[in-house]
Amino acid sequence: MRVLEARFHSRSRADFVVVGHLVWTGRIERDPPHLRAAPSLEGEPSPTTMLSKVRYLVAATAPAPFERLQRLRSRFWSFVEVPPAMLKGGH
């Protein structure tokens, strides 16, 4: 299992918001990821919009989103590989 953490960097904050986790349970070069929304989105004003943007970025970086998202140049978005244990329950 491989996991990328989707982070949104707002201009109004010094830190970032974890939007969710992209989880590959199969082969990253063939299988699409599953998006798991982060609990931290509950306090955000437009969580649905943020999740839609992550889905768009995954589609836009196909056929290799795992590698291409990590190289994405954006002042608002970053994607960082994290250990699967970071997910609640480790899966």
Taking only the tens place, the pLDDT of each residue in 32-89 is 999 999 998 888 888 899 999 999 999 999 999 999 999 999 999 999 999 998 886 5
Closest C-alpha to 10, from 37, 50, 38? 50
Q: List the structure tokens of 31.
A: 């299988």
DSSP the chain: -EEEEEEEE-TT-SSEEEEEEEEESS-TTTSPPEEEE-GGGGGSS-HHHHHHHHHHHHHHTTT-HHHHHHT---SSEEEEEE-GGGSGGG-
